[in-house]
Structure 1
Amino acid sequence: MMLLLDIGNTNLRWALSDGGPPGEVRVVRHGGAVPIDLLADWELLDAPERVVASNVGGASVAAAIGRATRAYWGLDLDLVQTRARFGALSIAYPEPGRFGVDRWLALVAAHRLVPEAVLVVDAGTAATFDLLLADGRHLGGLILPGVEMMRASLLAGTLIPRIASEPTDEPWAADTGPAVAAGSLQAIGALATRLYDRLERETQTPPALILTGGDAERLIPAMDRPARVVPDLVLRGLFEVVSGEASDIG
């Protein structure tokens, strides 16, 4: 049994693997530390043989989680790092350490999930967009503020009142609150459409579009191209990397 962790900027996702793809995914907000409800869940677990993590949430949360895994099971936290190549996958960044490990693992999983070229949109605290050809060549990507960060920065820099509101299915709004809510989603959706169409022109065939991250489901109404939501994409990539390491050792 292996415990897989995806430590994001805001949320921590975790799942167990018994030698196959990740099982049920649990999500908690970490706040830079170990959430109490996470520890309560872990108290009920049988001891895993290994704890493997992807971390973009910072050193402090990784250290805190490492202390917890050692206290519970005597296991150190094994942090995966971005690699320039993994199988047929090769990233565009000349310095792999500057490419977020969560983005890399999402590409690892996407390359396994679909045979065609793919645009991966990870809608979390930041919204990232990565383009991958069918042969595993990563073309590069773009980064925007995520949905909540986009809204918060707009409200912080203006006198627009803070009105809690969710967008409708309409592409525009008739009041300020819904206009702000819809605008953040439509901005991410519009960039996804633009990149999808550029990738289609590059490959001369329709690519896949995979959405992941905490706001993936909220983006669906703003998408103009067929999209598939894979909430555990990073954890799937983590499993693929660990499985690949085991195969290499074997």
Structure 2
Amino acid sequence: MMMLLLDIGNTNLRWALARSEDAFEVEVARHSGAVPLDVLARWEVLDPPSRLIVGNVGGAAVGESVRRVAHAYWGLEPEFVSVRAAWRDLRIAYADPSRLGVDRWLALIEAHASVDGAVLIVDAGTAVTYDLILGDGRHLGGSILPGIEMMRSSLLAGTQIPRIESEPSGRSWATDTGSAIAAGSVQAVAALADRLFEHLAHEAGAEPSMLLSGGDADRIASAIQAPCEMVPDLVLRGLARVVRELS
């Protein structure tokens, strides 16, 4: 059975064909509120999947676009997953689970299932989300920051500083304004990751793991002091796990 797994984020659409439990290749495209043309071209030549499983935080418009395409191409009704307060021994901290993004929930499911002990999940995209979970499955909650580009754009929009495309040199500081803004946005995201890692270690009584995901994960990895692991397909792996356990 071949499934098409789809993670619709605020900016990007990530998808993969799951032919086995663990092996799939992720493709990424900006969606702008609909299924983009390059993805349509790829999907048009696919062997029809048996199921289309979707996690969507990108809004109703792109979700409806996916629904129309799935009907037209394969006669399939997409299956949109939603957050549950409890999943196996994972327990969400939010009083209203529906206010937790389904992408964060799927990442928590995969992290808890695949890593022993406490885990800090950092998903760096349009926004940067941080979620803390103990080894017994208790979700402690999380934090959210603007993503790197959003942080830079909001600063430039509120000042007279001209936009200068620049990336950090690897140091925590810079010697010109554009580079200083670039360094500051990366260091802010990384510093909160390190701080939450320390707090989670104290809460758990042992060193936790840290998993990095999202489109900007590689931009912050070198700035984080704590040990961390890149898992770019964390949400899709969580989606695949949910489907397997429900089947």
Q: What TM-score do you get using the length of structure 2 for normalisation?
A: 0.98
SS at match of 1:187: helix
SS at match of 1:222: coil
The letter of the residue matching 1:92 is: A
Which residue matches 1:210? 211
Which residue matches 1:109? 110
Note the aligned Cα RMSD (angstroms): 0.7
Distance 1:112 1:164 in 2: 40
Which residue matches 1:147? 148
Deviation at 1:19, TM superposition (A): 3.7
Matches within 5 A, 1:236-247: 236-246=237-247
Distance 1:178 1:232 in 2: 30
The letter of the residue matching 1:24 is: E
Which residue matches 2:162? 161
Deviation at 1:112, TM superposition (A): 1.5
Deviation at 1:21, TM superposition (A): 2.5
Q: Unpaired segments of 5 or more residues in structure 1?
A: none
Q: Deviations over 1:120-159 (max 9, x none)?
A: 0000101000000001100000111011100010000011
SS at match of 2:175: coil
Matches within 5 A, 1:167-186: 167-186=168-187
1:14 maps onto 2:30 in alignment: no
Matches within 5 A, 1:1-250: 1-21=2-22, 23-246=24-247
SS at match of 2:159: coil
- Assess if the C-alpha contact under 8 Å between 1:186 and 1:222 holds in 2: yes
The letter of the residue matching 2:145 is: L
Alignment size in residue pairs = 246
Q: Which moves more between the two structures, 56-65 or 12-21?
A: 12-21
SS at match of 1:235: helix
Q: Deviations over 1:53-100 (max 9, x none)?
A: 000000000000110011000001110000001111111001110110
Deviation at 1:22, TM superposition (A): 5.0
- Assess if the C-alpha contact under 8 Å between 1:22 and 1:239 holds in 2: no
Residue identity over aligned pairs, in percent, reads: 59
Q: Unpaired segments of 5 or more residues in structure 2?
A: none
Distance 1:80 1:103 in 2: 12
Distance 1:22 1:157, change over 3 A: farther
SS at match of 2:130: strand
Deviation at 1:207, TM superposition (A): 0.2
User: Which runs of at least 4 in structure 1 moved beyond 2 Å after TM superposition?
Assistant: none
